[in-house]
Structure 1
Amino acid sequence: MFDEMQRRIISLWFPRLATDRVLRQCPMDGPFVLTLKQRNANRIYCMNVAGAEQGLHKGMAYADARAFCPTLQSGIADPQSDLRFLHILRRWATRYCPWVGLEGDDGLVLDITGSAHLFGGETAMLADIRGRLARAGLSVQIGVGDTRGAAWALAHYGEGQAPVGDMLGALALLPVAALRLNEETSVTLQRMGLRTIGALVADPRAPLARRFGAGVLLRLDQALGAQPEEITPLTEPSRYAVRMTLPEPIGLLTDVMAGAERLLVQLCAKLNAQEMGARRLCMTLRRVDQGYQQVELRLARPLRDPHRILPLFERGLGEIDAGFGIDQLRLEAVEVEDLPVQQLSHAVGWGQGQLEDLITRLGTRVGLENIQRFLPADSHIPERSFIIAAAAYCEASRGWSSQHPRPLCLFPPEPIAATGPQPPRRFRWRRMSLTASRATGPERIAPEWWLADENWRSGLRDYWRVETLQGRRLWLFYTPQNPGWFVQGEFA
């Protein structure tokens, strides 16, 4: 029988994660802070060591910081980029152990049970972690203990290693805030005279439970090891890629397409199992001379049907240079989206998708962003009643109003010679003499007073649809406050 191995936890706290990330890319001397708008003011979000030495602190108004430190340099904080950087550090930390999780938005927690001996012991492992992070330009504080709570407390309030089996001895002199309590609870405990963890342990538990509930005692027991606290490692994102190595090189398009079909069937099976669809696919072809060629396919809609995707690859694969032959094919879904299973019906059936395939085919030639569609906008002003968006990244809208149809061709208002509030019987437009045969209207449109649009400062407009004997179907409007007639559009 073997004794159970003693659990050991490392907590890594990066107190200057945001500024370290920025200064790694753009080093600078002197005080430096990152600011974030909070409570209607720009406040310090993070600072470097030089800034802390000047008396600056997190949450301080930036205007006050400039008064304290006239030479202060600053930038805008980007919490999303900081979080992505922390995820990169988490992946790097898996070199020391497989169980690595996030600790808030500026720390990591590692369960090194059974892995420290691979680096020569805990001390050698910690030295390696410090050295690598220092060379990367990152400030770190490290705590080691038998529990997650003890490691966190030592990293934030008493950097060091707790001896195995003696968490109370390592934490007794630390403040109660080291138990990961909120500020209000910590201040209340200090006012009661319970300033350290040792004093909290010595105090009767029943009165504490009645006053503060179970939260304080739970954190205390977790730090001392009386209550378990697990570490949940983040799972790696799913990768959708398949590869095929060929016994003999190939070079004909038909052979390459046959290989691509086999890879697509395997890849789409993976996508189908997780109800995902590919938006961007990348086919990598390795030649016998170790050269690589890539064919990228961007889809107008997420797909996982190999029979629909394969023809879309034909143009790109037909342009590759096989050289002396291709001996390996690799297909990866670089971008994927959720594609839940749908019930087939007369509305949603097998025949749909031709438009998306057409957009994809055209997009491989001119770019998906250049294939656009009109979408309705929430405005009754003609020029603002629509927006233009890439067809591949939006759905066709059914929100167009048919009560007041708009012309397909809109242009800036062009004046015509006419008088009176009724549409003119005869008028000249673009050097053409036109005769009205039918007029429908008026449709009165008022300006949106909350928008600063100089073209609508003149006031109301009465719009008419005018059909002419010459075949032109025009959209005219009359301005009552400043009498005049204008042509702004033409119906198809």
Structure 2
Amino acid sequence: MKPGHWRPGARWAREEISAPVKMREGHGALVTAHRVGNRDLLAAVCPQARALGLAPGMPLAKARILVSGLDVRPADPAGDAALLQRRGLFAARRWTPRAALSGADGLWLDLSGVAHLFGGEQAMCERILAFVRRLGFSARIAVAGTTGAAHALARFGGVPLSLCPGGEEAAAIAHFPLAALRLDEAALATARRLGLDRVGELIAMPRAPLQRRFGAEFLLRLDEALGRAPEPFAPIVPEEPSSVLLRFMEPIAGAEAIAEALGEAVRRLVPKLAEAGLGARRLALACQLVDNSVQWQIVSLSRATRDGDHLRQLLYAKIEKIDPGFGIERLRLVAARVEPLAARPVASVLSGEPPAPALAALVDRRAVRLGARRLYRLTALESDLPERSVARAGPLAETVDWPRWPRPIRLLSPPEPVEQVMAALPDGPPRRFRWRGRVHQVAAADGPERVYGEWWRREGERAAVRDYFQVVDESGARFWLFRSGDGEDSATGDLSWHLQGVFA
């Protein structure tokens, strides 16, 4: 192909060929891609990918040419929207009752009347930024007198926090491109053909020619950003949990009266849950006494349910923990945590499936008596370090089996140090050690089994090494010990010994 004769749509190729192109290494750079028409475009890029020259909207083929080893994953717009909705609900409950969605990647928060509760606008915004960082996200916040100006400052300001005094919105956004006004692509293309690039140029022009050329929608966006026209604000309204409130003409104090009140509360709550198609996972019972104090009782369930008999039995077990004093005036039962609960088939002989045991009800009854934290299962995690390879799971949660490696039944977390260890370096097993004041003479040993530190978790584990040994002492007891370090390089460990576990 002769120079200057490029096929349509290959403008980016002409720009890249005009100078020598060097492929950049992008190991660890993460991007998401989605299909727009017949092209795959980048939807989002991580900071490392952005530093390598990638940006949202770039063709995926071009990104792979520019950066090798790129980690490409499919975009999930529905998941992103659901996450943003949850963040908006949290903001409406925690910071301001007026919170709304701003596009697909932002939130509008109305700080009128609430900023002083957090020490002012700047202190409140810094607190929100710190909270977002703890969640693992990066964000930019802009405070202005109009939603349009705040939108432009947050997305085109380039700084984490922008505070625009009231009445200065025009000067603050004057140097921004016209895309900051939330205009559609057709209007932006027309403006570029006429030589309009900045918001300030648009503000200085007469309005009548602009309206004839672009229409009323074009000027409406400008007026909304400058405060000349109102902009609708549709706040996110958190749904109130299903609840039942009982008021008594005379205070109740007896166990039978409380049980009758709890039964009536459940009878009123179950139809509300059924109407919403929900099942309760946690019930909160608030008893307001004559002296205006409130006693709370919490009932957690292993699975969502709206079985009235089961809920009543769980609440009856809490009666003995209620101290009515001189009497209970009001009783409130709240479904504090709910989940969708639809009809599901029941396994039976007619369906050809053996009925599964109803363990959920049994687990709930035991949890009410013993405490929810005392009922759990153990599941394996993907980690080489034994103390990180085990986690607690719910009584009915799915678990993962451990690899078929010889491991002790009892693991110590954290590992306990042992003293007076006699062992030959660099990889000799221990011959004697002292643990919990008792000296153990080793009769047999097997090892070492080398385990490396998880450098992606902590920088200090980049060179860490552990050598594990299975030993049997003269009395027949079996132990699992490890030495910190490989016995040759001091950077791998301090050669200290620890007991990780005890075999049966």
TM-score w.r.t. the length of structure 1 is 0.52
**Counterpart for residue 195 of structure 1:** 197
The answer on 1:280 being equivalent to 2:279 is yes
**Counterpart for residue 63 of structure 2:** 65
- Name which of 162, 169, 172 aligns with 1:170: 172
User: How big is the shift at 1:112?
Assistant: 1.1
- Measured in 1, the distance between the counterparts of 2:61 and 2:254 equals 67
- Measured in 2, the distance between the counterparts of 1:145 and 1:41 equals 38
**Counterpart for residue 425 of structure 1:** none
Letter of the 1:325 counterpart: E
User: How big is the shift at 1:89?
Assistant: 1.9
User: How big is the shift at 1:289?
Assistant: 12
**Counterpart for residue 140 of structure 1:** 139
- Measured in 1, the distance between the counterparts of 2:355 and 2:313 equals 16
Q: Secondary structure at the match of 1:155?
A: helix
**Offset from partner CA, 1:269-305 (integer Å, 9 cap, x none):** 7679xxx354534574879997846486747xxxxxx
**Counterpart for residue 219 of structure 2:** 217
- Name which of 44, 48, 51 aligns with 2:49: 51
User: How big is the shift at 1:148?
Assistant: 0.7
Of stretches 111-120 and 288-297 in structure 1, the one that deviates more from structure 2 is 288-297
User: How big is the shift at 1:120?
Assistant: 2.7
- Measured in 2, the distance between the counterparts of 1:290 and 1:171 equals 53
**Counterpart for residue 182 of structure 2:** 180
Q: Secondary structure at the match of 1:52?
A: helix
Could you say if the C-alpha distance between residues 335 and 289 of structure 1 is closer, same or farther in structure 2, counting changes exceeding 3 Å? closer
- Please show how residues 178-327 of structure 1 align to structure 2 within 5 Å: 178-242=180-244, 247-248=252-253, 250=255, 256=259, 258-267=260-269, 276-281=275-280, 284=283, 292=299, 294=301, 298=305, 313-314=308-309, 322=317, 325=320, 327=322
> For the Cα contact (< 8 Å) 1:99–1:111, is it kept in 2?
yes
- Measured in 2, the distance between the counterparts of 1:295 and 1:109 equals 37
Could you say if the C-alpha distance between residues 324 and 92 of structure 1 is closer, same or farther in structure 2, counting changes exceeding 3 Å? closer
User: How big is the shift at 1:243?
Assistant: 6.2
**Offset from partner CA, 1:324-364 (integer Å, 9 cap, x none):** 836488463935799xxxxxxxxxxxxxxxx9xxx9xx999
- Measured in 2, the distance between the counterparts of 1:177 and 1:151 equals 14
**Counterpart for residue 114 of structure 1:** 113
**Counterpart for residue 438 of structure 1:** none
Unaligned regions of 5+ residues in structure 2, if any?
1-25, 287-294, 323-330, 361-504
Letter of the 1:60 counterpart: M
- Measured in 1, the distance between the counterparts of 2:276 and 2:355 equals 18
RMSD (CA atoms): 4.1
> For the Cα contact (< 8 Å) 2:28–2:70, is it kept in 1?
yes
Structure of greater Rg: 1
- Measured in 1, the distance between the counterparts of 2:282 and 2:299 equals 10
- Measured in 2, the distance between the counterparts of 1:367 and 1:215 equals 61
> For the Cα contact (< 8 Å) 1:249–1:326, is it kept in 2?
no
**Counterpart for residue 153 of structure 1:** 152
**Offset from partner CA, 1:387-412 (integer Å, 9 cap, x none):** xxxxxxxxxxxxxxxxxxxxxxxxxx
User: How big is the shift at 1:110?
Assistant: 1.2
User: How big is the shift at 1:147?
Assistant: 0.7
Unaligned regions of 5+ residues in structure 1, if any?
1-27, 300-311, 339-354, 369-492
User: How big is the shift at 1:248?
Assistant: 4.3
Letter of the 1:150 counterpart: A
Higher relative contact order (CA 8 A, sep 6+): 1
> For the Cα contact (< 8 Å) 2:305–2:341, is it kept in 1?
no
Letter of the 2:338 counterpart: V
The answer on 1:75 being equivalent to 2:73 is yes
User: How big is the shift at 1:237?
Assistant: 2.0
Could you say if the C-alpha distance between residues 267 and 286 of structure 1 is closer, same or farther in structure 2, counting changes exceeding 3 Å? closer
> For the Cα contact (< 8 Å) 1:279–1:336, is it kept in 2?
yes
Could you say if the C-alpha distance between residues 261 and 225 of structure 1 is closer, same or farther in structure 2, counting changes exceeding 3 Å? same
Letter of the 1:74 counterpart: V
User: How big is the shift at 1:260?
Assistant: 4.8
> For the Cα contact (< 8 Å) 1:34–1:44, is it kept in 2?
yes
Q: Secondary structure at the match of 1:325?
A: helix
Could you say if the C-alpha distance between residues 323 and 85 of structure 1 is closer, same or farther in structure 2, counting changes exceeding 3 Å? closer
**Offset from partner CA, 1:201-231 (integer Å, 9 cap, x none):** 2212111111211011111111111111132
User: How big is the shift at 1:102?
Assistant: 0.6
User: How big is the shift at 1:264?
Assistant: 3.8
- Please show how residues 333-344 of structure 1 align to structure 2 within 5 Å: 334-335=338-339
> For the Cα contact (< 8 Å) 1:240–1:270, is it kept in 2?
yes
> For the Cα contact (< 8 Å) 1:43–1:58, is it kept in 2?
yes
Could you say if the C-alpha distance between residues 134 and 314 of structure 1 is closer, same or farther in structure 2, counting changes exceeding 3 Å? closer
Letter of the 2:156 counterpart: Y
**Counterpart for residue 466 of structure 1:** none
> For the Cα contact (< 8 Å) 1:286–1:329, is it kept in 2?
yes
**Counterpart for residue 418 of structure 2:** none
Could you say if the C-alpha distance between residues 29 and 129 of structure 1 is closer, same or farther in structure 2, counting changes exceeding 3 Å? farther
Letter of the 1:153 counterpart: A
- Measured in 1, the distance between the counterparts of 2:157 and 2:284 equals 54
Letter of the 1:163 counterpart: P
**Offset from partner CA, 1:249-268 (integer Å, 9 cap, x none):** 74x8x985x44541144336
- Please show how residues 421-436 of structure 1 align to structure 2 within 5 Å: none
The answer on 1:104 being equivalent to 2:119 is no
The answer on 1:131 being equivalent to 2:130 is yes
Q: Secondary structure at the match of 1:334?
A: strand
- Measured in 1, the distance between the counterparts of 2:136 and 2:100 equals 22
Could you say if the C-alpha distance between residues 170 and 337 of structure 1 is closer, same or farther in structure 2, counting changes exceeding 3 Å? same
**Offset from partner CA, 1:407-460 (integer Å, 9 cap, x none):** xxxxxxxxxxxxxxxxxxxxxxxxxxxxxxxxxxxxxxxxxxxxxxxxxxxxxx
Aligned sequence identity (%): 32
Could you say if the C-alpha distance between residues 329 and 235 of structure 1 is closer, same or farther in structure 2, counting changes exceeding 3 Å? closer
Q: Secondary structure at the match of 2:196?
A: coil
Could you say if the C-alpha distance between residues 331 and 207 of structure 1 is closer, same or farther in structure 2, counting changes exceeding 3 Å? closer
**Counterpart for residue 448 of structure 1:** none
User: How big is the shift at 1:32?
Assistant: 0.7
Q: Secondary structure at the match of 2:195?
A: coil
- Measured in 2, the distance between the counterparts of 1:43 and 1:85 equals 22
Of stretches 51-60 and 139-148 in structure 1, the one that deviates more from structure 2 is 51-60
**Counterpart for residue 457 of structure 1:** none
